[in-house]
């Protein structure tokens, strides 16, 4: 089994061709990779981590214990397939922030998360341009494809996966692909659990201090006409240690129209109208994803194609 791709972005200066090849291979064959020297200061990431873990201990841990008790999730005998062993809350950044509405966050925590979102937004757009370069698309094409009337949608899911006494009976997070564009994950540097499906086998995404894990969502698969793939992944609950996960989703605007980039569609495919991927409004796809998240992505694409045919 090939080694999980870890890419040092600093090497774009000096070893550009080799680094671009690593990014290309990761996008085409993994749908996941980890980046280091990504421009976000490591001391700043340490602050994000400590504030997130403090907030969980102070405000979320007891609620999670109460949820476990109310749902009778302790000492499970049978497998649970309709719930996840996770404690989460969501931050919206674009087109409008909801940061001020989130209860229990200190002023410092709000300020730091706002700054973190700006740094991740910049990194997402830099990576999209690197993808454009590898795909021979004009610079800015992917960013433009994500733009609706109000620009992209950008938000963060802050999760903690507490120790689980029965990890064989319940997943931290059930297997799924991500619906959106590019996902940037700051994960716990010590406690693992994230896995992706590659060639029919579950592969660990290694915890690596100060890295950002990148994965590709369904929209990039559509826009690249399948050259890049969104990949199924899951979180395995652990018996020891709580795992922090801060996943930020840089997605198309709700009214953005998504379709394969014409430059990546073969002529014959275009003439015969037998393209693999549909054309749709992102918001419509998200409504379908809300119902079918934990199922295979292909039926979602087929359902959107059927809608396109009858439109």
Segment 271-295, tens digit of pLDDT = 555 678 999 999 999 999 999 899 9
> DSSP labels for the chain?
-PPPPEEEGGGGTT-HHHHHHHHHHHHHHTSEEEEES-SS-HHHHHHHHHHHHHHIIIIIHHHHHHHHHHTT-TT--S---S--S-EEEEEEEESS--GGG-TT--HHHHHHHHHHHHHHHHHHHHHHHHHHHHHTPPTTHHHHHH-BTTB-EEEEEEEEE---S-TTTS-SEEEE--SSSEEEEEE-SS---EEEEETTEEEE----TT-EEEEE-HHHHHHTTTSS----EEE---SSS-EEEEEEEEE--TT-EE---GGGS-HHHHHHT--SS--EEHHHHHHHHHHHTTS-SHHHHHHHHHHHHH-
Which residues face 33 on adjacent strands? 214
Question: How many other C-beta atoms are found inside a 10 Å radius of the C-beta of residue 217?
Answer: 24
Give dist(CA 97, CA 110) in Å, integer: 11
Per-residue pLDDT for 197 more than 80?
A: yes
Instruction: Report residue 71's pLDDT band, with 50, 70 and 90 as the boundaries.
Output: confident
Q: Which residue has the tokens 């200066």?
A: 13
pTM: 0.95
> Hey, CA dihedral for 81, 87, 92, 93, is it positive or negative?
negative
Whether residue 308 contacts residue 300, with contact meaning beta carbons closer than 8 Å, is answered with no
Count of all residues that appear for the chain in the document: 311
Q: What is the pLDDT of residue 270?
A: 58
Q: Please, which residues have CB within 8 angstroms of residue 66's CB and are 6 or more apart in sequence?
A: none
Q: Which of 60-69, 89-98, 117-126 has the lowest mean pLDDT?
A: 60-69
Give dist(CA 189, CA 112) in Å, integer: 19
Identify the structural domains of the chain with CATH numbers, from first to last.
6-309 (2.60.120.330)
Please state the rounded mean pLDDT for residues 161-178: 95
Q: Which residue has the tokens 């006494």?
A: 165
Q: What is the per-residue pLDDT across 230-260, written as a single tens digit (0 to 9) for each?
A: 999 999 999 998 999 999 999 999 999 999 9
Q: What is the pLDDT of residue 269?
A: 62
Q: What is the pLDDT of residue 74?
A: 73
Give the strand pairing for 32-36 and 212-216: antiparallel
Angle value at C-alpha 66, between 177 and 106, nearest 5 degrees: 75
Q: Is 56 exposed, middle or buried (0-12, 13-18, 19+ CB in 10 A)?
A: buried
Q: What is the pLDDT of residue 311?
A: 65
Give dist(CA 198, CA 177) in Å, integer: 13
Please state the rounded mean pLDDT for residues 20-46: 98
Per-residue pLDDT for 228 more than 70?
A: yes
Please state the rounded mean pLDDT for residues 12-25: 98
Whether residue 286 contacts residue 179, with contact meaning beta carbons closer than 8 Å, is answered with yes
First to last CA, the chain: 45
């Amino acid at each position: 089994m090939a080694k999980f791709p870890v890419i040092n972005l600093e090497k774009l200066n000096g070893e550009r061709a080799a680094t671009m090849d690593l990014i290309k291979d990761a996008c085409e064959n993994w749908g996941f990779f980890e980046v280091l020297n990504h421009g976000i200061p490591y001391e700043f990431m340490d602050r994000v981590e400590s504030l997130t873990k403090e907030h969980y201990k102070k405000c979320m841990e007891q609620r999670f214990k109460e949820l476990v008790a109310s749902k009778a999730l302790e000492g499970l005998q049978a497998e649970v397939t309709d719930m996840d062993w996770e404690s989460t809350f969501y931050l919206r950044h674009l087109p409008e922030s909801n940061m001020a509405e989130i209860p229990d966050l200190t002023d410092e925590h709000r300020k730091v998360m706002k700054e973190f979102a700006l740094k991740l937004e910049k990194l997402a757009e830099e990576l999209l341009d690197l993808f454009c370069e590898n795909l021979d698309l004009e610079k800015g094409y992917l960013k433009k494809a994500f733009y609706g009337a109000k620009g992209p949608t950008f938000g963060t899911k802050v999760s903690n996966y507490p120790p689980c006494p029965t990890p064989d009976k319940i997943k931290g997070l059930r297997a799924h692909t991500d619906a959106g564009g590019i996902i940037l994950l700051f994960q716990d540097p010590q406690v693992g659990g994230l896995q992706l499906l590659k060639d029919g086998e579950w592969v660990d995404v290694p915890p690596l201090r100060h890295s950002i894990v990148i994965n590709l969502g369904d929209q990039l698969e559509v826009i690249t006409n399948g050259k890049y793939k969104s990949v199924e992944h899951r979180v395995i609950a652990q018996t020891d240690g709580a795992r922090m996960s801060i996943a930020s989703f840089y997605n198309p605007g709700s009214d953005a129209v998504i379709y394969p980039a014409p430059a990546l569609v073969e002529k014959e495919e275009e003439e015969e109208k037998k393209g693999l991927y549909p054309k749709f409004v992102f918001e419509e796809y998200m409504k379908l994803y809300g119902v079918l998240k934990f199922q295979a992505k292909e039926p979602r694409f087929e359902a959107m194609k059927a809608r396109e045919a009858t439109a």
